[in-house]
Amino acid sequence: MLADAVDAALTDAGIDEAAIDEVHHANFAGALTDTQNHQAPLVADLIGGAVPTIRHENACASGGFAMWSAVRAIHSGAADVVLVTGIEHLSPLSTSEVTTAFAMAADELYEIRNGLTFPGAYALMARSYISEYAPEDYRSALSAIAVKNHEHASVNPLAHFQSTVDLQTATEAPMIADPLNLYDSCPISDGAAAVVLAAPHVDTTADRVRVRGVGAASDHLALQTRASIHATAATATAADRAFEDAALSRDDVDILEVHDCFTIAEVLALEALGFYAPGEALEAALREETTSSGWLPTNLSGGLKAKGHPVGATGVSQIAELTKLLRGDHPMAESLEGPQVGLAHNAGGTVATAVVHLLEVLDDD
Amino acid sequence: MLADAVDAALTDAGIDEAAIDEVHHANFAGALTDTQNHQAPLVADLIGGAVPTIRHENACASGGFAMWSAVRAIHSGAADVVLVTGIEHLSPLSTSEVTTAFAMAADELYEIRNGLTFPGAYALMARSYISEYAPEDYRSALSAIAVKNHEHASVNPLAHFQSTVDLQTATEAPMIADPLNLYDSCPISDGAAAVVLAAPHVDTTADRVRVRGVGAASDHLALQTRASIHATAATATAADRAFEDAALSRDDVDILEVHDCFTIAEVLALEALGFYAPGEALEAALREETTSSGWLPTNLSGGLKAKGHPVGATGVSQIAELTKLLRGDHPMAESLEGPQVGLAHNAGGTVATAVVHLLEVLDDD
C-alpha cells in the first residue's frame, strides 16, 4: 500500500526519488498490528535512500504531525524535498483488538484502565455537547453528517466506502455508544498516503499548492482534566496559530477536511476551528451548509467517516485530498467554484493533540 | 521518572516551564509496556502547557531523533525554548516479552518472523566483523569494553549498574549469542531523561553548551540487504553530515558517548564515526585508548552497557551526560583536561537509523 502511495505521489510531483532529502513517516499501531516498530527505515528503503527518516506518532494525528515536521524541515533550511508518508494496517487485528489498540490514544491511567473505549469517549463528548446546548433534533443532525460524508465518498475512488446512505438508515442504525450509532462512527481501515513537499525554488513540473500556514497544540490527555469535555481547546489553539502563521482569516477558507472520526467530531471541529459559534454547528448540518454546495464545504473526500480512517495515514491523506481539490483534479472539484484556500484539521485521540494546515492555490505568476 | 527528569532539567536550565514553546518526546514500546501510545500530551501536561507536542520513534535512536527534531524547531524559528524528553518503562514486561519488543526494531518480514532476536542480530554483526578482520584476542577485547564502561558507571549516580567488573568475570560470563556473552550486553532498564534547548538569545542563568552540528541517516532495515553487515553505513553518513554541519573535524572531538547496546556496537561505532580505520577499534580497547585517561575517552557515563539502555530515554540521556562532562559538573569530569567538544551517537535497531550530535563548550565571551 505504501509503495503504491509513494509511487503515485512522486509521479504526481514530477520529482525523482533521488531528489528526496528526508522522509517523515506516520504510524500509530505497527507494534501491535505487524510486530514492527522502527518503520521509518523501511520507507527510506522504498526510495532507495540512506536519507534521514523518522517516525512520528500522535495517535490519530500522527499523519498531520508528520506533515508539520516535514514543513519545518524545509523552513529550517535542512531539506529542499521531503517525503511525508503515513500507513495503518489494521486488518490483522480483530475488532476487539482494534478497540484495545485505539484506546491507547486515550489516557491509560484515568480512562483505558477503567474500561473507556474510543466510541465511549466520543459519546461522552457528544453527551456533554448535547447537555450544554440542547439541540432540538440531534439524532437527525448527526446522521445528516454521515449522509453528507458518504455522499462525498461515493465518487472518491480512494474511499473505503464508495456508497451513499439515506437519512433514515443512518438514523436507525444500531447503537454503538449512546448517542453515537454505527453510522456516526468511522470504519476500521487499512490505508496509506504520501505527499511530496518541496522548497519554493525546487524545479518541478507539478501543479503545486502552497503550505501557507501551520499550527499545533495539545490538551490534557484525559477528558476529565479538561476545562470542557467538548470544547476541544487544542483545535482552537492550533487553528489560531495556523491563521496567524498564514496571515489569513476564517473568511479566506473555501474548503475544509476536518477530523470526523465520529459525526460529533466534525461538529466539535467546525466550532473549535472558529467557523461556528459554540452550539451552532450541529444543526447547521441539517441545513446542508457543509455539503459541496453549502457555504462551508467540509470533508469533500468523504472524511474519516466514509473515506476511512487508516490512523497513521489519515492526516497525510487530508493533505493529498485537499491538494487535488484546490488544483481541480478531484472528483468533487467540479461542484466547487475555484477554491483558493483549504484547511486540514487532524486530531489525536480525543483531541489531546491537534494540528491545522492551511493550503492555498499557487499562482503561476 | 519523567517528572523527576523534567524538574531536574528545568532547574538546571534556570528556565521556567511557562517559557517552553514545544515538547519533543521519545518512546519506543509504550503500546506494549503501558498500553499507552499518544504519550506526548502527558509530557505537555507535566509542564502545565497546551504547547505543541509530538512523539518520535526510531527504535533505540528515538531519543536522539527527538533531539534532532528539537534542534530543528529552534533553527526553523518556530520555537525559542524546547523541552526534549525520553522514557522507557520496561519493567512491566518479562525478559521474554522484552526480547519480543526489542525485536520490533529489526525487520519483521526478513528477521523477526524468522526468529532473530536482538542479541542474535548483534552477534551476526560481531561474527561478520571477526570474520573479516580476524582480531587475535577478540574475547578479551570485547570484555575490556565492558570492564571500562562498568568502571565509568561505577561513579555515576544515575547509572543502572554502579558496580565494576573484572576482566576475568566479564570474559567468563554465560554466553547469550555467540560471541556475545552476558557482560557484552546492555541491561533492560527503566529510565527517563530530559534536556532543555534554548535559542542563543534566550536569557538563562544556566552554564550552557552549544549544539554545534547535527547529522542523521538511514540504512536498509534488514541486515541481509546491506552492503556490509558490520560497517554500519548510517553511522558513517550521519557523522559526515554532523561534522560538515559543525565545520569541525574528528580531531576536534575530546569525548564521545556512543551507542554500545553490545560491546561490539561500541567498536563498530568508533570505526564508522571515523575515529579508527576499519578493523582497528576492537584491539584498541585492550590498549585502554578509550578510557578516561586514553586519547579518545568514550562512554564516560558508563554507556548503554552499564549506565543502562532505557530505549526512548537513551539518546536524550547521552546529551545530558555529555553536557555535564563538557561543563565539568560530572563525576568523571575531573579525569579530563577541559574537553571542548563532545560527540553523541545514537543508533536505531541494528543501525538502520543513526543520529550524531556535536556539542561544544560555550565561551562566555
**B87 vs A: CB within 8 A:** no
- Identify residue B97 by its one-letter amino acid code: E
What residues make up the domain containing B39? 2-91+191-198
**A32 vs B: CB within 8 A:** yes
Angle at A105 between CA A323 and CA A264, to 5 degrees: 65
Has residue B96 been placed in a domain?
A: no
CB contact under 8 A, B37 and A105: yes
What is the least distance, in Å, from the CA of A310 to any CA of chain B?
A: 16
- At A257-308, the pLDDT tens digits run 999 999 999 999 999 999 999 999 999 999 999 999 999 999 999 999 999 9
The bridge status of strand B255-257 relative to strand B341-348 is: parallel
Q: What is the mean pLDDT of chain A?
A: 96
Alpha-carbon span A142 to A305, nearest angstrom = 12
Has residue A99 been placed in a domain?
A: no
Alpha-carbon span B106 to B211, nearest angstrom = 30
Alpha-carbon span B326 to B338, nearest angstrom = 7
Give residue B364's pLDDT: 62
B-chain residues near A54 (CB < 8 A): 56, 58, 65, 68-69, 216, 353
Burial class (CB in 10 A: 0-12, 13-18, 19+), A114: exposed
Site of grid cell 507535566: B46
**B357 vs A: CB within 8 A:** no
Same domain, B158 and B254: yes
The bridge status of strand B341-348 relative to strand B353-361 is: antiparallel
**A56 vs B: CB within 8 A:** yes
Torsion of CA A94, A99, A105, A106, to 10 degrees: -160
Has residue B225 been placed in a domain?
A: yes
- Percent of chain B clearing pLDDT 90 (strictly above): 97
- At B89-140, the pLDDT tens digits run 999 999 999 999 999 999 999 999 999 999 999 999 999 999 999 998 999 9
Whether A170 has a pLDDT exceeding 70, the answer reads yes
* pLDDT band, very low/low/confident/very high, at A364 (cuts 50, 70, 90): low
pLDDT, mean of residues A235-254: 98
- At B220-232, the pLDDT tens digits run 999 999 999 999 9
- Of B147, B168, B198, the residue at which a domain comes to its end is B198
Same domain, A19 and A136: no
Has residue B24 been placed in a domain?
A: yes
User: Is the separation of the CB atoms in A270 and A290 below 8 Å?
Assistant: yes
- Catalytic residue list contains B220: no
Alpha-carbon span B228 to B206, nearest angstrom = 44
What is the least distance, in Å, from the CA of A155 to any CA of chain B?
A: 33
Same domain, A299 and A216: yes
Task: From the candidates B60, B186, B230, B357, give the one annotated as an active-site residue.
Answer: B60
Residue of A nearest to B79 (CA): A72
What does the block give as the cell for A13? Answer: 510531483
Same domain, A112 and A84: no
Same domain, B287 and B356: yes
CB contact under 8 A, A112 and B36: yes
Same domain, B78 and B164: no
- Percent of chain A clearing pLDDT 70 (strictly above): 99
Alpha-carbon span A216 to A348, nearest angstrom = 11
Has residue B100 been placed in a domain?
A: no
Has residue A203 been placed in a domain?
A: no
Judged by average pLDDT, the poorest of A18-22, A67-71, A200-204, B50-54 is: A200-204
- At B65-90, the pLDDT tens digits run 999 999 999 999 999 999 999 999 99
Which residues 235-274 of A are in CB contact (within 8 Å) with B?
237-238
Same domain, A112 and A79: no
pTM: 0.97
User: Is the separation of the CB atoms in B342 and B218 below 8 Å?
Assistant: no
CATH of the domain at B217: 3.40.47.10
Same domain, B48 and B73: yes
User: Is the separation of the CB atoms in A47 and A17 below 8 Å?
Assistant: yes
User: Is the separation of the CB atoms in B257 and B308 below 8 Å?
Assistant: no
Q: Is the ipTM of this complex over 0.90?
A: yes
Torsion of CA B312, B317, B322, B328, to 10 degrees: 180
> What is the CA A225 to chain-centroid distance, rounded?
24
What does the block give as the cell for B310? Answer: 532505557
Whether A365 has a pLDDT exceeding 90, the answer reads no
CB contact under 8 A, A103 and B35: yes
User: Is the separation of the CB atoms in B70 and B81 below 8 Å?
Assistant: no
- Identify residue B113 by its one-letter amino acid code: R
Same domain, B153 and B32: no
Angle at A107 between CA A104 and CA A111, to 5 degrees: 100
CB contact under 8 A, B53 and A353: yes
Indicate the number of domains in chain B: 2
- Catalytic residue list contains A220: no
Own/partner pairs for A233-236, CB < 8 Å, 24+ apart?
A: A233/A272, A233/B50, A234/A347, A234/A351, A234/A352, A234/A353, A234/A354, A234/B50, A235/A268, A235/A269, A235/A272, A235/A273, A235/A345, A235/A347, A235/A351, A235/A354, A235/A356, A236/A272, A236/A273, A236/A274
pLDDT, mean of residues B250-262: 98
Write the secondary structure of chain A as one string of H (helix), E (strand) and C (coil): CHHHHHHHHHHHHCCCHHHCCEEEEECCCHHHHCCCCCCHHHHHHHCCCCCCEEEEEECECHHHHHHHHHHHHHHCCCCCEEEEEEEECCCCCCHHHHHHHHHCCCCHHHHHCCCCCHHHHHHHHHHHHHHHHCCCCHHHHHHHHHHHHHHHHCCCCCCCCCCCCCHHHHHCCCEEECCEEHHHECCCCCEEEEEEEECCCCCCCCCCEEEEEEEEEECCCCHHHCCCCCCCHHHHHHHHHHHHHHCCCHHHCCEEECCCCEHHHHHHHHHHCCCCCCCCHHHHHHCCCCCCCCCCCECCCCHHHHCCCCHHHHHHHHHHHHHHHHHCCCCCHHHCCCCCEEEEEEEECCCCEEEEEEEEECCCC
Alpha-carbon span A335 to A328, nearest angstrom = 10
Has residue A98 been placed in a domain?
A: no
Has residue A20 been placed in a domain?
A: yes
Whether A194 has a pLDDT exceeding 70, the answer reads yes
Mark B3-14 as b/e (b = at least 16 C-beta within 10 Å).
Answer: eebbeebbebbe
Whether A354 has a pLDDT exceeding 60, the answer reads yes
What does the block give as the cell for B15? Answer: 528556565
- Of B198, B230, B260, the residue at which a domain comes to its end is B198
Same domain, A130 and A244: yes
pLDDT, mean of residues A28-40: 97
Site of grid cell 568523571: B332
A-chain residues near B59 (CB < 8 A): 37-38
What is the least distance, in Å, from the CA of A37 to any CA of chain B?
A: 5
Residue of B nearest to A35 (CA): B104
Residue of A nearest to B77 (CA): A76
Same domain, B248 and B300: yes
* pLDDT band, very low/low/confident/very high, at A59 (cuts 50, 70, 90): very high
Same domain, B156 and B225: yes
Which residues 175-234 of A are in CB contact (within 8 Å) with B?
216-221, 225, 233-234
Give residue B49's pLDDT: 78
User: Is the separation of the CB atoms in A53 and A22 below 8 Å?
Assistant: yes
- Of A150, A165, A198, the residue at which a domain comes to its end is A198
User: Is the separation of the CB atoms in B24 and B69 below 8 Å?
Assistant: yes
Taking CB atoms and an 8 Å cut-off, how many pairs form between chains A and B? Answer: 180
Choose the closest CB to A108 out of B35, B45, B233: B35
